[in-house]
Structure 1
Amino acid sequence: MKWRHLLSSAASRNRFPRPLDWLIAMVVGTFAVTEELTGGSDLPERPILALWVAGGVAAAVLVLVRRRWPLTTMTIYWCASLVIFLYDGYPAAWQWYVQLIFFFTVCAEVPLRSPRGVLGVALTALFLHGMAISVPVTSNAEYAIGIVMAAIAGGAGLAVRRYQQFANAADERSELLAARSELLAREAVAEERTRLARELHDIVAHSVSVMVMQAGGVRLMLRPDQVKERETLAVIEETGRGAVEELRRMLGLLRGPEVDGLTPQPGLARLDDLVEQVRGAGLTVKVDIEGDPAPLPAGLDLSAYRIIQEALTNTLKHAGSTDATIKISYRPTELRLTITDAGPRGPAPLGLPARPGGHGLIGMRERAALFKGTLTTGPRPGGGYTVQAALPLTPR
């Protein structure tokens, strides 16, 4: 999947040296070179000092790239240290600290129960034993200190690995939730558009039927010698009837079993019925008309009614028994709807149930977009919520 590819790419990029890796490598290199040049604590004189200084610098380079090749860099460092132990080289303190850094990295990057994790533990144990052989151990306490230091480094690495696993799992869940939300939103939009098509069908079919009847009426009024005009009107009637029949077939694909095709589609003329219904559910509604009401296209009239209905339904669902205001502004070029509420003022009643298949804001946005309008929603500064729709009017 796409999100898995992105996560794996991000993980690969994170394995390249980061600023913190550069800082750790510089500290390791500085500490190693300083200890070798100054003699450190009880360090014998080196036969070839430059070789030990170069070894400290090489160890710093391995530390720099350790996260990209955790076990490889650890193995290279361990083999070089083994040569020192075999040839009676007196190990310095910086060598043990560098081994602990590699052990921490292996535990952080590699599963501890895997063969590579077991090898990392074994190499660290052998490294500690090699240092004990090269430097005479006076008491078991020194062994115990070394074991405790290794346990702390390994435990810290395991904690980092566990945190990374939790972080990756959280990222994956976020990606899945985002993908699921996007899919649900698309399904909701598709469902709302299907509902819009069902509701607008009757309006279109009625308009075409009226055109067909008017054409038939004009055809019957023609004189007998107007043959060409009669034929033209007959073609219009036949085409119109065919269009109505095709619309009915199309609706058969869209209409669900719960839809009654005989129910008339509402408009703003039936707004009073809607207001009385929501008042009975506990909502106090005030209607304010601005401008002179004008006849609206049937589809726009239906969408305006549905937007108000959905806004009031959402108010009942989320604010309960409260005050709401509907403002309908008739303007020369647009119809503006503003539905506001005062917010919750007590326990929410059962209210009006949401219409089957409704999706709240998605449905209102789809209806506004159908007529190239806009929908603005959001909380009010003093409390409550506002829904405002601007639906352009087509000049007639």
Structure 2
Amino acid sequence: MCRPGVRSSVQRMRGPSPHRLDVAVTCGFAGIAVTEALLATPSDDPLAFVVPSAVALAVPLLVRRHRPALALVGVLAVMAVQRAVLGEIWDAGSSLAIPMCAVYSAGAYLPRQRSLAATGVAIVVTSILDVGADGSDWPFLTLILGAMWVAGMVARRYWQMADQAAAYAAELEVLQAEREENAARAERTRIARELHDVVAHCVSTIVVQAEAGQALIEADRSGASESFAAIQDTGRQAMVELRRLLGLLRGGGQDDGGPQPTLAHLDALLADVRRTGLHVSLEIAGTPRELPPGVDLSAYRILQESLTNTVKHGRAQRAAVLVRYEAEALTLEIVDDGEAASVTASATAPGGGHGLVGMTERAHLLGGTLQSGRTHEGGYAVRARLPLS
């Protein structure tokens, strides 16, 4: 099933309201037919019949979409009645234009074989009824009505292709959404494993401080008090990280067991990036201080992912990194002079990277924000704000 936006676009190509369009077409043809009938009718012909029959000739077009065969039969029947009553059909444009519209509708809305048969019947009947002035216009009728049938078939095929394109676009959208969701789920799993290590470190610190406090409780009460205060602070920190951890899905994969990187490792990261040929500058604004472990880890990962994508996809020559320590948040900014593909090349970058999906998941996990896009100078920028509390 097509999504509403795609389906509505296809409907607009066919007309926003088919019923209203059919009413407008019918009224237009009826008005033309009445006008031409009045102008072409001899003075001795009964107007009481001519005018209603002119209107009746167009009325079957009201059902030309839903009952195209019935519409065509209705038009031909009215023409036959006009011929029987008046002895001839007035030589006017509407006398051929209305059957042309009915034949077009048959080609557009009837199955191929039925529409072809209906067109053949229309050609035969209109030739017999002598639509032309001298009764010798059957080659012309065949050409004109046949062309209208072909036009209807072309329109039918066009609408079918539009429906197929809409269905294909909707399917691609669903697949892309599933791909992004899978990438986000995988990234949440990876973040959960990393936060597990952060919580484990906090708990280990609590154990060490508790043992020290127990040893000092008799010999050095002030030292024991400091140990228990440290236990309290570390415990609160562990609870914050644990709440974040419980909000994620745990994966079944095994962690590598190594220490998790922080902004203390930023210089080493920039050195690795510079060895690829990318010129990277670093600016530290504000006063650096100890950060909550989750913020420290996520900040490093966001910087790492942004620079990795710049190297792999951005074709950039230079990049500038800004780390701003604010009172209540840590702000990160990575700006390069490459192309937009630096981050948007894929939702999940090759080689372990996770692109915008991973960076956005990390920022949102901490209650922060992450924005990315082209700069006015033509490069690409990633900006993140991570709350500290």
Per the shorter chain, which TM-score range? 0.7 to 0.9
Give the 3-state SS of the residue equivalent to 1:265 in structure 2.
coil
> Are the aligned partners of 1:16 and 1:68 in contact in 2 as well (CA < 8 Å)?
no
Other-structure match for 2:56: 58
Question: Which residue in 2 is equivalent to 1:78?
Answer: 76
Aligned residues: 353
Q: Which residue of 1 aligns with 2:204?
A: 209
Q: What CA distance in whole angstroms lies between the structure 2 residues aligned with 1:329 and 1:99?
A: 76
Give the Å deviation of 1:154: 1.5
**Cα deviations across residues 29-85 of structure 1 (Å, max 9, x unaligned)?**
223222322235xx6943x43122101112233224423332222222223333445
1:131 counterpart (129, 132, 138)? 129
Q: Distance in 1 between matches of 2:216 and 2:333?
A: 48
Q: CA, structure 1 residues 122+361, in 2 after alignment: closer, same or farther (shift >3 Å)?
A: same
Q: Structure 1 regions of 5+ residues with no counterpart?
A: 224-232, 345-352
The structure-2 alpha-carbon separation of the partners of 1:112 and 1:86, relative to structure 1 and needing over 3 Å to count, comes to farther
Whichever residue aligns with residue 202 of structure 1, its letter is D
Q: What does residue 177 of structure 2 align with?
A: 182
Q: Distance in 1 between matches of 2:55 and 2:249?
A: 80
Distance 1:391 1:356 in 2: 26
Corresponding residue number in structure 2 for 1:36: 37
Contact 1:287 1:327 in 2 (8 A): yes
SS of the residue 2:386 aligns to: strand
Task: Label 1:76 to 1:15 Cα distance change in 2 as closer, same or farther (>3 A).
Answer: same
Indicate the residue corresponding to 1:103 in structure 2: 103
Counterpart-to-counterpart distance in 2, 1:64 and 1:154: 18
2:253 to 236, 245, 256: 256
What residue identity is the alignment partner of 2:95? Answer: Q
Q: How far has the Cα of 1:16 moved from its partner?
A: 1.2
Cα offset, 1:14, TM superposition? 4.0
Change in CA separation of 1:101 and 1:174 when aligned onto 2, cut-off 3 Å: same
- Whether the 8 Å contact between 1:373 and 1:392 is mirrored in structure 2 is yes
Counterpart check, 1:341 vs 2:342: no
Greater shift after overlay, 160-169 or 296-305?
Answer: 160-169
Cα distance in 1 for partners of 2:350, 2:268 equals 16
Determine if contact 1:44/1:90 at 8 Å carries over to the other structure: no
Cross-structure match for 1:349: none
Deviation at 1:136, TM superposition (A): 8.3
**CA contact 1:17–1:65 (8 Å) conserved in 2:** no
Whether 1:391 aligns to 2:386 is: yes
In 2, Cα distance between equivalents of 1:4 and 1:130: 48
With the length of structure 1 as denominator, give the TM-score of the two structures: 0.78
Q: Is the 8 A contact 1:282 1:321 kept in 2?
A: no
2:34 maps to a residue whose letter is V
For residues 286 and 350 of structure 2, the distance between their equivalents in structure 1, rounded to whole angstroms, comes to 30
Q: Percent identity?
A: 35
The corresponding residue for 1:228 is none
In the alignment, residue 101 of structure 1 is paired with which amino acid?
Answer: C
Change (3 A) 1:76 1:60: closer
Distance in 1 of aligned mates of 2:112 and 2:128: 23
After superposition, the C-alpha distances for 1:165-222 in whole angstroms (9 at most, x for unaligned) are 2222222222122222222121121111111111111111121232234334445666
Partner residue in 2 for 1:274: 269
| 1:141-160 → structure 2 map (5 Å cutoff) | 142-160=137-155
CA contact (8 A) 2:123 2:141 kept: no
Deviation of 1:87 after TM superposition, in Å, equals 6.2
Q: Any idea what SS the aligned residue of 1:335 has?
A: strand
Q: CA-atom RMSD, angstroms? A: 3.4
After superposition, the Cα gap between the structure-2 partners of 1:67 and 1:186, relative to the gap in structure 1 and judged at 3 Å, is same
**Distance in 2 of aligned mates of 1:392 and 1:339:** 18
Please tell me the residue identity of whatever aligns with 1:73: A
Would you say 1:299 and 2:294 are equivalent positions?
A: yes
Q: Verify the 8 A CA contact 1:290 1:327 in the aligned structure 2.
A: yes
Aligned match of 1:17: 20
Residue 13 of structure 1 deviates from its aligned partner by 6.9
